[in-house]
């Protein structure tokens, strides 16, 4: 069951990273007309224990990048849905395993 738990935590980490990307791109779009606004960018890296770590950095250059932000939203949505499917599958597998043990 440890492997299933690990898969669930990794997919949950992916969903959280995707949510962060959605939040940051929404913030960038909402503030794109604000004078002197510096976009935020999400930096992701693999967590050695499994999953992904995210951090938010401020762009060094002011201004909007609307195309990048819209593309990031679409990609983040797909990433979230893919990780959600993995999470659901691992939950179903755990349920089936518990049913056979009971």
pTM exceeds 0.75, yes or no: yes
Summarize the confidence of residues 62-83 as an average pLDDT. 94
**pLDDT at position 94:** 73
Residues 77/18, Cβ–Cβ less than 8 Å: yes
pLDDT reported for residue 81: 97
62-66, long-range: CB within 8 Å, 24+ apart, which pairs? 62/36, 62/37, 62/38, 63/37, 63/39, 64/28, 64/29, 64/32, 64/33, 64/37, 64/39, 65/28, 65/39, 66/29, 66/32
pLDDT for residue 19: 97
| Per-residue model confidence as pLDDT tens digits over 5-36 | 688 899 999 999 999 999 999 999 999 999 99
How does pLDDT run across 75-93, given as a tens digit for each residue? 999 999 999 999 999 878 7
């Amino acid at each position: 069951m440890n492997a299933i738990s690990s898969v669930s935590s990794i997919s949950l980490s992916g969903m959280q990273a995707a949510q962060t990307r959605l939040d940051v791109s929404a913030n960038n779009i909402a503030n794109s007309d604000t004078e002197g606004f510096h976009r935020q960018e999400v930096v992701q890296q693999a967590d050695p224990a499994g999953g992904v770590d995210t951090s938010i950095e401020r762009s060094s250059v002011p201004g909007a990048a609307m195309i990048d932000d819209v593309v990031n939203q679409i990609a983040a949505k797909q990433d979230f849905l893919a990780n959600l499917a993995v999470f659901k599958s691992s939950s179903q597998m755990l349920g089936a395993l518990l049913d056979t043990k009971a």
